[in-house]
Amino acid sequence: MMMQFEPVIGLEIHAQLLTKSKIFCACSTAFGASPNTHTCPVCLGMPGVLPVLNRQVVEFALKMALATHCRIAPYSQFARKNYFYPDLPKGYQISQYELPLAENGWIEIDTGETPKRVRIHRIHMEEDAGKLIHDEHNRLSYVDFNRTGVPLIEIVSEPDLGSPAEAADYLRKLRDILRYLEICDGNMEEGSFRCDANISLRPVGSKALGVKTELKNMNSFRNVQRALEFEMRRQQALLQRGDRIVQETRLWDNDRGVTVSMRGKEEAHDYRYFPDPDLVPLVIDNEWIERVALSLPELPDAKRQRFAEDYHLPLYDAQVLTASRDLADYFETVVKEFPEPKVVSNWIMSELMRELNRDEKDISACPVPPANLAELLKLMKTGVISGKIAKTVFQQMYGTGQSAKTIVEEKGLLQVTDASAIESVIEEVLQANPSEVEQYRGGKQKLLGYFVGEVMKKTRGKANPQLVNEILRGKLG
Ligand SMILES: [Zn+2]
């Protein structure tokens, strides 16, 4: 019988913090500058310079640690991680090793019925390395030190993730939290949010951990999941043949859809860590922790629950609307003006998001301000325009940025609620369709829909459908 295996997955995430300056010097962190213009003797690792810790980095790291229920170390330390690489001018990276900023946290991910708790092993601060640019045509390599010293936090999970899909969910949740906190833009494609994954297999039911491999070079949520799925199959095939897994680092090759061996996995002792003698230990008192805790915004889980309860929304709606802080704020602003949450939710999730997705636009770039959507919904609710017309008006609002009222007035889209006007159109329709009228009177009731359709056609959708129905029934009855 074939032995069944289950994956054990842990993720290491690097999140670039949105501070204005680097972690140990005053150089700018702005993206996109000419190479090597955001540098100074400190981040270039010149002899005799001293790093000075950026207080904002600690504040941001504390926010993430508190948002993920970590225990904050009252005393933590920076350490040197020694290795040689052309993008690392000092020959070491300043990171945290034995005494990290925070440990023992958790977040919850949704796995169907009940949320699953994924433990966070540690969160620590460190500096980024430079960037190598390879010109393969001319067989040259360039190095840009603008990124050297840009602040990162590394978030290391426990191996609690039981499938590639769970890993992707965890990753999304962490990114949502970072974005809610406004401390990282979460952009995987641009590398400001990076993920390495550890994966091993073990026989189903076993508690022991198998030999793991580390996967790198996955620059989207989808690639993380695909790389883990591939690696699971690869390891399973080896184990079923009776072969051993080699502990190593493997690169995801997105074009071929496979992982390839990169190098043997380093052990911690390969880096010869030791406390950085240039930086004093970091002491964080309770007052500082409390102040940061008070500054935390409402986080995704809490907001989703509040949306479901206070607005009586289905969980699905609450989840979609709280995916970002901006979208949640948009919804709440509209509801303040037009207090029918489910109607607002439907409009945002269908009409609005369809347009935004098509243009690949974020809600922050939405051309329809919340007040304008509220106005449109009021016009519909009070019968000034029909629901069908409202959708057309919305598309024009989105395209032009104009208000609902302006469009309705300019295009003459006001709903016809004048009974005598509707009555005359109905008369026309009935006179033009004598045989249908006869059939209806003879018992073919479903022809009512046909008459309604004809009236709407003649009024170009502007007749109030309720009135049309009422009058038609009276006339035909
Ligand atoms: Zn610098």
The model's pLDDT over 256-285, given as tens digits with 9 standing for 90+, comes to 999 998 877 667 678 999 999 999 999 999
Query: How many A from CA of 98 to the centre of ligand 1?
Result: 26
Exposure letters 376-404 (e unless 16+ CB within 10 A, then b):
bbebbeeebbbeebbbebbebbbeeebbb
Stronger pLDDT, 170 or 408, i.e. the higher one: 170
Query: How many A from CA of 147 to the centre of ligand 1?
Result: 10
Q: Residue 98 carries which side chain, given as an amino acid letter?
A: E
Per-residue pLDDT tens for 399-425?
A: 998 998 888 888 776 666 677 788 888
Query: How many A from CA of 20 to the centre of ligand 1?
Result: 12
Q: CB of 112 within 8 A of CB of 305?
A: no
Tell me the chain's radius of gyration from C-alpha atoms. 30
Q: Of the given ranges (363-377, 405-419, 445-459), which has the lowest mean pLDDT?
A: 405-419
Query: How many A from CA of 93 to the centre of ligand 1?
Result: 14
Write phi, then psi, for 256 (nearest 5 degrees).
-90, -10
Query: How many A from CA of 22 to the centre of ligand 1?
Result: 7
- What is residue 144's predicted lDDT score, i.e. its pLDDT? 96
Per-residue pLDDT tens for 12-31?
A: 999 999 999 999 999 999 98
Q: Of the given ranges (84-98, 216-230, 231-245, 454-468), which has the lowest mean pLDDT?
A: 454-468
Over the chain, what is the mean pLDDT? 92
pLDDT at 318 over 60: yes
Give the Cα separation of 477 and 469 in Å (integer). Answer: 12
- What is residue 448's predicted lDDT score, i.e. its pLDDT? 87
Residue 298 contacts by C-beta under 8 Å, 6 or more apart in sequence?
Answer: 180, 306
Neighbours of ion ligand 1 (CB under 5 A): 25, 27, 40, 42-43
- What is residue 457's predicted lDDT score, i.e. its pLDDT? 86
Give the Cα separation of 64 and 340 in Å (integer). Answer: 34
Query: How many A from CA of 41 to the centre of ligand 1?
Result: 6
Q: CB of 20 within 8 A of CB of 151?
A: no
From the list 135, 145, 162, the residue with the least C-alpha distance to 22 is 145
Write phi, then psi, for 161 (nearest 5 degrees).
-95, 125
pLDDT at 182 over 70: yes
Query: How many A from CA of 66 to the centre of ligand 1?
Result: 29
Q: CB of 214 within 8 A of CB of 197?
A: yes
Query: How many A from CA of 170 to the centre of ligand 1?
Result: 34
Per-residue pLDDT tens for 20-76?
A: 999 999 999 998 899 999 999 999 999 999 999 999 999 999 999 999 999 999 999
Query: How many A from CA of 169 to the centre of ligand 1?
Result: 36
Query: How many A from CA of 30 to the centre of ligand 1?
Result: 12
Q: CB of 306 within 8 A of CB of 320?
A: no
Query: How many A from CA of 38 to the centre of ligand 1?
Result: 7
3-state SS, 307-363, equals HHHHCCCCHHHHHHHCCCHHHHHHHHHHHHHCCCHHHHHHHHHHHHHHHHHHHCCCH
Q: Of the given ranges (335-344, 442-451, 459-468), which has the lowest mean pLDDT?
A: 459-468
Query: How many A from CA of 179 to the centre of ligand 1?
Result: 26
Residue 99's pLDDT band (boundaries 50, 70, 90)? very high
Query: How many A from CA of 219 to the centre of ligand 1?
Result: 27
Query: How many A from CA of 352 to the centre of ligand 1?
Result: 44
Average pLDDT over residues 168-196: 94
Query: How many A from CA of 269 to the centre of ligand 1?
Result: 29
Q: Residue 408 carries which side chain, given as an amino acid letter?
A: V
**Residue appearing with tokens 């709280």:** 322
Give the Cα separation of 325 and 333 in Å (integer). Answer: 12
**Residue appearing with tokens 């069908």:** 388
Stronger pLDDT, 458 or 304, i.e. the higher one: 304
- What is residue 70's predicted lDDT score, i.e. its pLDDT? 98
pLDDT at 339 over 80: yes
Q: CB of 227 within 8 A of CB of 262?
A: no
Give the Cα separation of 110 and 293 in Å (integer). Answer: 25
Query: How many A from CA of 28 to the centre of ligand 1?
Result: 8
103: left (phi over 0), alpha (psi -120 to 50) or beta: beta
Q: Residue 290 carries which side chain, given as an amino acid letter?
A: E
Per-residue pLDDT tens for 218-253?
A: 989 999 999 999 999 999 999 999 899 999 999 999
Query: What are the structure tokens assigned to 52, written together?
Result: 């000075």
- What is residue 73's predicted lDDT score, i.e. its pLDDT? 97
Query: What are the structure tokens assigned to 133, written together?
Result: 């640019």
Residue 1's pLDDT band (boundaries 50, 70, 90)? low
Helix ranges, 83-189 (H): 164-180
Residue 56 contacts by C-beta under 8 Å, 6 or more apart in sequence?
Answer: 17, 19, 20, 21
Query: How many A from CA of 51 to the centre of ligand 1?
Result: 9
The count of other CB atoms within 10 Å of the CB of residue 475 is 14
- Terminal alpha carbon distance of the chain: 75
- Angle at CA 270, nearest 5°, toward 269 and 275? 60
Query: What are the structure tokens assigned to 200, written together?
Result: 């091993």
Query: How many A from CA of 99 to the centre of ligand 1?
Result: 25
pLDDT at 459 over 60: yes
Residue 125's pLDDT band (boundaries 50, 70, 90)? very high
- What is residue 197's predicted lDDT score, i.e. its pLDDT? 96
From the list 91, 87, 90, the residue with the least C-alpha distance to 132 is 87
Query: How many A from CA of 46 to the centre of ligand 1?
Result: 10
Query: How many A from CA of 35 to the centre of ligand 1?
Result: 13
DSSP codes of every residue in 263-304: EEPPPGGGG--EE-TTSPPEE--HHHHHHHHHHPPPPHHHHH
Helix or strand holding residue 222 (H, E): helix 221-240
